[in-house]
Amino acid sequence: MTNASSILTALGDPTRQAILDLLLEGPQPVGELAALLPVSRPAVSQHLKVLKEVGIVVDRQEGTRRVYSVDPAGLAPVRDYLERFWRKSLVAFAEHAEKQAAREVDKEKDR
Amino acid sequence: MTQQTISPVRVSVSVGLDQQRCFEVFTDEMTSWWPAGHHIGEAPIETIVVEPFVGGRWYTRHTDGAETETGVVTAYDPPNGFTVTWQIGADWAFHSDLVTHVEVRFTPTDDGRTLVELEHRDLEAYGEAAAQMLETFEGPDAWGGMLKHYAEVAEAGS
């Protein structure tokens, strides 16, 4: 049921923004996030669940504790976009450069 | 603490100019080849300038006289290459605190052509920028670009 509106809802909450901010500095277990925020541990868990559902946060088990981190794949759309952008730009550059090259060859011939 | 990482974007192309000309055409003639729709001003591009020294500005002057920043030059080594910062957010606005780097290398090849390699790195900065954009979150259009991408990918996967 992940769609644009559920992502908007997930990111629109100030506590979830604060959680994301902390996770961007590095992976954290729930307890440490709760200690840094003015909300209860169950509330942090609930927020993490929402962030996980929209694919921005991932978790993994480390011994007895569960550690949460920002999913770098969550940024994949930005990376993909930039890759398309630069590919298109370099193709445009190559076309321009080849035109210049052809012009310079013509000049050589005229000499 | 470990930072989240995201692999750099790497794109390359080979062109039929020697290294020196290739460098010149890429930097001095950027206005001629830059895809015209790719800018963050309100008016079309008049000229794109990469000032030829470390600390120089990389900016666009628009036909309405306005100037928009893209980044600054952090390495300048003609004709081998140069590095600039790219401080354009996923919302297509300039962010002074969003710093990613674009390095372009020009390598001569045996056939008299030049290999142009572009690397856009430090993309994890977009994670931090996303958090900052969230702080100013005001509505569905506030950071539409990135969210739209998120949504498209999420929907494709569901």
Amino acid at B132: Q
pTM value surpassing 0.80:
no
B70: in domain:
yes
- pLDDT at position A16, please? 84
- What pLDDT digit, counting tens, does each position of B94-115 carry? 878 788 999 999 999 999 999 9
Domain contains B131: no
Q: Report the pLDDT value the prediction gives residue A54, as an integer from 0 to 100.
A: 72
Instruction: For residue B144, give every residue at least 6 positions away whose Cβ sits within 8 Å of its Cβ, in sequence order, or none.
Output: B91
CB B55 within 8 A of CB B73: yes
What's the confidence (pLDDT) of residue B40?
74
Domain assignment of residue B60, given as a range: 9-124
User: Residue B90: its pLDDT value, please?
Assistant: 61
* Position B130 in a domain: no
Q: How many CB pairs under 8 A join A and B?
A: 144
Q: Is residue B136 part of a domain?
A: no
Asked, for residue B69, whether it belongs to a domain, the answer is yes
Q: What is the mean pLDDT of chain A?
A: 81
Parts of chain B with a pLDDT under 70: 1-5, 90-92, 127-158
B138 in a structural domain: no
CA distance A21 to chain B (A): 6
Fold observed for domain A4-70: Arc Repressor Mutant, subunit A (1.10.10)
H, E, C per residue of chain B: CCCCCCCCEEEEEEECCCHHHHHHHHHHCHHHHCCCCCCCCCCCEEEEEECCCCCCEEEEEECCCCEEEEEEEEEEECCCEEEEEECECCCCCECCCCCEEEEEEEEECCCCCEEEEEEEECCCHHHHHHHHHHHCCCCCCCCHHHHHHHHHHHHHHC
Domains contained in chain B, number: 1
CATH code for position B74 = 3.30.530.20
pLDDT at B21: 94
Interchain pair A90, B146: CB under 8 A: no
A106 near B CB under 8 A: no
Chain B residues inside the 8 Å CB shell of A54: 150, 154
Q: Is A108 on the interface with B (CB under 8 A)?
A: no
B140 and A8 within 8 Å at the Cβ level: the answer is yes
> What pLDDT is attached to residue B158?
41
Region of poorest pLDDT, from A5-9, A85-89, B19-23, B118-122? A5-9
- Taking contacts as CB-CB distances below 8 angstroms, the residues of chain B near A22 are none
